[in-house]
Amino acid sequence: MLKTKIAVFVSGGGTNLQALIDAAKRGEIPSGEIVLVLSSNETAYALTRAAENGIPSAVVKRKDFPSQLAYEEKMKEILRENGVEMIVLAGFMSILSENFTSAYPKRIINVHPALIPSFCGKGYYGLHVHEAALEYGVKITGATVHYVNEIPDGGEILLQKAVEVLEGDTPEILQRRVMEQAEWILLPKAAELVAKGLQKGN
């Protein structure tokens, strides 16, 4: 059976990438295969994780290009060369324009460390999300996997999972709990869901 070819976009440590790699090894993403890791940062530890698992990688930095369009065209070219059919954003810190997202309709997914529509959109990424949740005093937070369109965190929701906020949580502690209890569980599930759906459509 042909598998849906997946590229994982990263910018940092790659913990969500690792969750996907581990899930794939456990047979939890039978319909998909990670064929490429694309990073916006050449020092991202995620690239080491890719190398250790024999996954080809590429680095494309926004500042190396005169425009967003040129940057995105380069990424598209690399994706075409690798036959990529689906993209998972796993801590990718670069915003993608409509020029890029419209080329992959319902083929790009992202994990956001909150229950959308709470604490999402422009400026809400990484620890900022958890700082905002604690500041607001919510008792429940979580993670959301959604399709990506031209609006930051604005695409259709695929999966969500709630995580309790506990007394004495710091943004870092909460971030770790959300990763362990929600992100690392939802992302492989959503990857399989979309990869399987694309196979039926192909």
Which amino acid, one-letter code, is at 2?
L
Q: How far apart are CA 12 and CA 113, in angstroms?
A: 15
112, 128, 130, 146: which one is catalytic? Answer: 112
Q: Which residues contact 61 (CB under 8 A, 6 or more apart)?
A: 40, 41, 42
Burial of 189 (0-12, 13-18, 19+ CB in 10 A): middle
Rounded to the nearest 10°, the torsion over CA 79, 111, 98, 154 is 160
The answer to whether 130 is a known catalytic residue is no
Rounded to 5 degrees, what are φ and ψ at 142? Answer: 160, -155
Q: How far apart are the first and last CA of the chain?
A: 12
What residues are labeled active site?
112
